[in-house]
Structure 1
Amino acid sequence: MAKWTAFPFAGDYVFTAASVKKNWERLHLGDAEPLPKDAKVLQAWALFHNGEFQKARDMGLKIGGAGLTVANKAACIYATYLEQQEKARLDLYMDVARRASAQAAEDPSNFNALYWQAYALGRYSQGISVAKALAQGLGSKVKKELENVIEIEPKHADAHIALGSFHAEVIDKVGSLIGGMTYGAKKDIGLRLFQDALKLNFQSAIGMIEYANAMLMLDGDKMMKEATRLYQQAAAAKPMDAMERLDVEMARVELEED
C-alpha cells in the first residue's frame, strides 16, 4: 500500500486517548460524533487529531464498528487536503463511499455513515466535474443523504456546510432555474444552511471558507468584500487539531490568491 503524504505540521498536535476524551465536545462540534466507549477507538481518533491520517485510517479499519467512522474521516480529510494524485484521491473517495454505504445499510441511524458517504461522493463529483456527476445522478444522492443526516442529527454543522455547498455549486454550474426545477437547489436555502452551520459551530474555519465560496458562486464580485472578510476570519482562527490546521492554511492560501 502506498505511503500517504505526511501532515506538513507533524508534532504540532499531541493528543492521547485521554486528551481526546477530555476535549471531545470541542473537537467534534462539526460532526456531532458520539463519544466512543472503546478505548481503542479513542486512540484511533488521537491519531487522526494529530494528523497521522494513514495510521488513523488503518487502525479504524482494523477495529471496525465505530472505528470505521475514524477511517472514513481520515481518508476523506487526507484525500481533500494532502493527496496530490487525482486518481488516488478519487479512489480514496470511492472506497469511503462504499464502506460508509455498507455501514448505513447495517445501521440507518448512523448519521456519520450517511455523512461520510455523502461527503465522499460530493468530493468525487467535484473531481470528475459537477455537471458530469449531476448527469450520473450523484447530486441527488448527495442531497438526499445530507438531508437525512440533518433530520437525524440537527446539530450536525458539517452536514449543513456540505448541503449549503451542494445548493451553491449546482446553481453555479446549471443556473438557478434548472438547478431549482431539476435538483431542488435554491440560493436562499443554501445561504441559510451556512448561517445555521456557523451558529452551531461558530469557530468552523471550513464553514467560513465554504460560505465565502458560495457567496462568490451565487452573487459574484459584489460579494467579494464579505467573502474576503470570511476568509480573513477563517485564516485567523485558532486550530485545535490537524484537520482544523489544514482548514486555516487553506484560508490563508485563498487570501494570498485574491
Structure 2
Amino acid sequence: MSQWNPFPHDADDYEFEGASLKKAWKRLHAGDCIPYPSSSWVESVLDGLDEDALGSCGADSSGLSTQLQCAWRAFHAGRFGDAVKNADEAGVLGSDCACKAIGIYATYLAADESEQQALYREAISRGEQAIKLLPNNPGSHYFHAFNLGRLGQSISIGEALRKGMAGKIKTSLDACLEREPDHAEAHTALGMY
C-alpha cells in the first residue's frame, strides 16, 4: 500500500528506543507469545529453515534481528506502514509483524470497507505463505486466523460460509495452539469461535 493513514493518537509512550523495547517486550506480547527478535532467536530460526524460506530473508542474524526490532518499534508506535516495510525487509521472519500491522491498520485506520477487505486479503495471503515457510511458528497460524476472522466479519455470512472461512480459522487456531499452548489471543479467539 502506498499511502498509510497516520495513527491519530499520541503514541509517545510506545516509542521504544534502544533496550527499552526488550524491557517492555514481555508486557507487549503477553497475548501473542511472539519471542523477542534477538540475534540468538533469529539464528535459531534460521537454522531450521529450508532453502526457500532462507532465501526470503538471508542469513545475517544480527542484521535481521535489528530489522525486526525496527519493524516492531514502528508497529508499537502506530507507524504501521513503516512496520510492514521493515518487516518485509526481514523476509519471512517479518511475517508476524507485517500480518499484525496490516490487520490492526485495516481494522482501525483503513479509509473504507473496500480498502479494509483488500488489506485483510493481503494479510491472509502473507499468512498462507508464512505457514508454508514457517510451519512451526505459532504466529504464522494465528495471524492467518486473525485476518481471516476480520475479513469474515466484514463480508456477508453467506460469502464467508461459501469460502469455508470458519473451518480455516479453526484449523489455524488449532495449529497455533498445538505449537504454543499458552497463546492467550488464540485461546480467546477459539473461545469466541
Relative to structure 1, the CA distance from residue 17 to residue 163 in structure 2 (aligned partners, 3 Å threshold; closer, same or farther) is farther
Match of 2:99 among 72, 84, 99: 72
Deviation at 1:17, TM superposition (A): 4.4
Say if 2:156 is the partner of 1:129: yes
CA distance in 2, matches of 1:43, 1:107: 21
In structure 2, the partner of 1:9 is 9
Aligned partners of 2:141 and 2:172 also within 8 Å: yes
CA distance in 1, matches of 2:105, 2:2: 13
Deviation at 1:132, TM superposition (A): 2.5
Partner SS, residue 32 of structure 1? coil
Identity of aligned residues (%): 40
In structure 2, the partner of 1:32 is 33
What CA deviation, in whole Å up to 9, does each residue of 1:96-146 have, x standing for no partner? 111111111122111101111111111111111234202321111101110
CA distance in 1, matches of 2:131, 2:185: 18
Structural RMSD (CA): 1.4
In structure 2, the partner of 1:56 is 83
Partner SS, residue 92 of structure 2? coil
Aligned partners of 2:67 and 2:89 also within 8 Å: no
CA distance in 2, matches of 1:11, 1:106: 33
- TM-score, length-scaled by structure 1: 0.61
Say if 2:88 is the partner of 1:42: no
Higher mean C-alpha displacement, 102-111 vs 62-71 = 62-71
Computing the radius of gyration from Cα coordinates, the structure with the larger value is: 1
| Ranges of 4+ aligned residues in structure 1 off by more than 2 Å | 10-13, 129-132
Match of 1:143 among 150, 155, 170: 170
CA distance in 2, matches of 1:131, 1:29: 35
- TM-score, length-scaled by structure 2: 0.81
CA distance in 1, matches of 2:156, 2:17: 39
In structure 2, the partner of 1:107 is 134
Deviation at 1:10, TM superposition (A): 3.7
In structure 2, the partner of 1:193 is none
CA distance in 1, matches of 2:174, 2:89: 30
Partner SS, residue 167 of structure 2? helix
In structure 2, the partner of 1:19 is 20
Partner SS, residue 192 of structure 2? helix
Relative to structure 1, the CA distance from residue 74 to residue 17 in structure 2 (aligned partners, 3 Å threshold; closer, same or farther) is farther
Q: How does 1:1-258 map to 2 (within 5 A)?
A: 1-12=1-12, 13-37=14-38, 38-166=65-193
Deviation at 1:159, TM superposition (A): 0.7
Deviation at 1:31, TM superposition (A): 0.5
Deviation at 1:3, TM superposition (A): 1.4
> Which runs of 5 or more residues in structure 1 are unaligned?
167-258
Aligned partners of 1:16 and 1:43 also within 8 Å: no
Aligned partners of 1:17 and 1:43 also within 8 Å: no
Larger RCO: 1 or 2 (CA < 8 Å, sep 6+): 2
Aligned partners of 1:30 and 1:156 also within 8 Å: yes
Aligned positions, number: 166
Which amino acid letter does the alignment assign opposite residue 119 of structure 1?
A: F
